């Protein structure tokens, strides 16, 4: 095993000991208190500065930090400001434990279920629409209906790669709306720490939502009620667009599009229990030649959705073929009150404004893969110009992502490993960018397979490589050398190319 593996799996230093505190568990602690032994196994520092010291004046990892040499001597740390915090929506371990023990109550969800059943029996409640408006509007919604979504740029919720550090990068380029990675509602209610980590919100995210996926109106309602009461969110988005088998085969994501009655109950439930906006993300349908979105859009208005986002492909198509923007335009005409955003294949300012202003096909556009390939697309959209970004500027952008990642995932060995892995996942999209200065025809299109090319310098050529070993080289420029046994296989392969 490598030294890093021995330090992580062999001698795992106690967190209290690492920061010079006495461990309250003593000999019962499952971690080591052998500082000398740990330091003998620990690999050299990765850099001359620690992001936690730079931002907060203190580092919570102490000796475990891979940048510990940059820490000030004991007693010289800056006082950590009480007003300084990293992210909202950290519900804490106590809440997660209470969820696992089923000690949390959901009064609004219970109220909705009681009203639904009573009105259904009396014939008052339409089993698609849900409880009557009078019952639903008994409570005042202080955070509902305050956002004008029209015309705002929107970074799509992206599993794995749409993490908080990446969203911060996009905020730096001017995106207006951001959303968490897809969180499974049932996992949140089970108190899974990894799932709750997905809903964290950085203070720079001015308009932020949490996206939920599930196959049960009751479960989605309870998750929405909990997030609405415990987290700082502007909206909760219901995922009905995810095409991956893990979600759809369990009845969630895009599989819901064939069950309008079930969708109706889900949206109505979430609308009733939450104090914030409820939005929905859908596809054209399940099968490529059987569009259903135009039938659903008017019903979403009745069910209480504040925004509908339509990806211009079916579940069957996933990310192949071109997005059907003319059909998105048809669906916009079907929406009389709720704004409709389109999505699919947009990665240039020309395409963005063509869909929005020339063709008038949507009220806004959600950008996903285009932002992964070139996050600065939001800056181009705002300024209505192409940015011929240099390879050095792109490397600086990746360095900034790494700094955000170390702040988010940690500066210990595990945090560095996570930061590297997510950087590499992002590079599996970044390498598809063709520099504007060497393109014969602008703009670059999402569906066009990037040809092999030689860049204007060695770094630009390296960044265009489709080989994971070259992405690892770039990560080593930023995060230092990898362990000898390190390998990487990208998790995502969502392109539009036809073989």
Please list the active-site residues. 242
Phi-psi region of 89 (alpha: psi -120 to 50; beta: other; left: phi over 0): left
Q: Which residue has the tokens 């520099």?
A: 435
Burial 198-222 (b: 16+ CB within 10 A, else e): bbbbbeebebbbbbbbbbbbbbbbb
Nearest-angstrom CA–CA distance, 149 and 338:
10
**Residues 6+ away with beta carbon under 8 Å from 382:** 153, 174
Report helix, strand and coil shares of the chain as percent, to nearest 5: 45, 10, 45
Helix (H, G, I), strand (E, B) or coil at 54: helix
**344, 366 Cβ separation under 8 angstroms:** no
373 φ/ψ angles, rounded to the nearest 5 degrees: -75, -40
Q: Are 433 and 374 in contact (CB under 8 A)?
A: yes
Tokens 């040809």 sit at which residue? 451
Which two three-digit tokens encode residue 113? 């279920």
Strands 177-179 and 207-213: parallel
CA–CA separation, 369 and 345 (whole Å): 8
Q: Considering only CA atoms, which of 65, 74, 51, 50 is closest in space to residue 13?
A: 65
Count CB-CB contacts under 10 A for residue 175: 25
Is residue 309 within a helix (H) or strand (E), and if so which, with residue range?
Answer: strand 307-311
Asked, as a colleague might, if the bond just before 287 is cis with ω within 30 of 0, I would say no
Residue for token digits 């089923």?
Answer: 102
Supply angle C-alpha 165, 92, 178, rounded to 5: 30
For residue 360, is it left (φ>0), alpha (ψ between -120 and 50) or beta? left
């Amino acid at each position: 095993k490598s030294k890093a593996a021995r330090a992580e799996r062999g001698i795992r230093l106690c967190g209290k000991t690492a920061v010079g505190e006495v461990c309250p568990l003593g000999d019962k602690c499952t971690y080591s208190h052998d500082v000398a032994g740990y330091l003998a196994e620990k690999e050299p520092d990765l850099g001359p500065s620690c992001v936690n010291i730079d931002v907060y004046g203190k580092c919570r990892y102490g000796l475990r930090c891979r940048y510990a040499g940059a820490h000030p001597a004991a007693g010289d740390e800056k006082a950590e400001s009480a007003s300084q915090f990293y992210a909202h929506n950290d519900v804490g371990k106590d809440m997660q434990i209470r969820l696992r023990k089923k000690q949390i109550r959901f009064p609004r969800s219970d109220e909705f279920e009681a009203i639904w059943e009573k009105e259904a029996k009396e014939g008052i409640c339409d089993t698609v629409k849900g409880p009557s408006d009078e019952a639903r509007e008994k409570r005042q919604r202080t955070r509902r209906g305050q956002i004008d979504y029209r015309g705002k740029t929107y970074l799509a919720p992206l599993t794995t790669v749409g993490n908080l550090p990446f969203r911060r990068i996009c905020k730096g380029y001017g995106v207006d709306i951001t959303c968490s990675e897809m969180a499974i509602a049932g996992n949140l209610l089970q108190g899974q720490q990894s799932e709750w980590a997905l809903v964290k919100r950085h203070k720079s995210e001015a308009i932020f939502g949490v996206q939920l996926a599930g196959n049960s109106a009751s479960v989605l309602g309870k998750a929405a009620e909990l997030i609405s009461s415990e987290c700082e969110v502007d909206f909760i988005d219901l995922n009905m667009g995810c095409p991956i088998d893990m979600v759809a085969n369990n009845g969630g994501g895009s599989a819901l599009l064939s069950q309008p009655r079930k969708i109706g109950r889900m949206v109505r439930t979430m609308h009733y229990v939450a104090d914030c906006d409820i939005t929905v993300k859908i596809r054209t349908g399940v099968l490529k030649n059987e569009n259903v979105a135009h039938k659903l859009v008017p019903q979403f208005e009745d069910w209480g959705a504040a925004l509908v986002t339509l990806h211009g492909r079916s579940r069957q198509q996933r990310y192949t073929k071109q997005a059907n923007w003319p059909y998105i335009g048809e669906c916009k005409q079907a929406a009389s009150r709720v704004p409709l955003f389109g999505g699919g294949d947009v990665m240039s300012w020309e395409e963005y404004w063509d869909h929005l202003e020339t063709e008038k096909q949507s009220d806004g556009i959600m950008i996903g893969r285009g932002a992964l390939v070139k996050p600065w697309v939001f800056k181009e959209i705002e300024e209505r110009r192409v940015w011929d970004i240099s390879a050095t500027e792109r490397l600086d952008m990746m360095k900034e992502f790494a700094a955000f990642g170390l702040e988010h995932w940690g500066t210990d060995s595990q945090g560095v490993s996570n930061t590297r892995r997510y950087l590499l996942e992002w590079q599996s999209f970044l390498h598809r960018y063709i520099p504007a200065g060497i393109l014969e025809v602008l703009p670059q299109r999402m569906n066009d397979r990037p040809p092999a090319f030689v860049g204007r310098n060695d770094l630009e050529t390296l960044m265009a490589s489709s080989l994971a070993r070259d992405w690892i080289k770039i990560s080593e420029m930023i995060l230092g050398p990898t362990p000898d046994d390190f390998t990487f296989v990208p998790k995502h392969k969502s392109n539009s190319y036809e073989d």
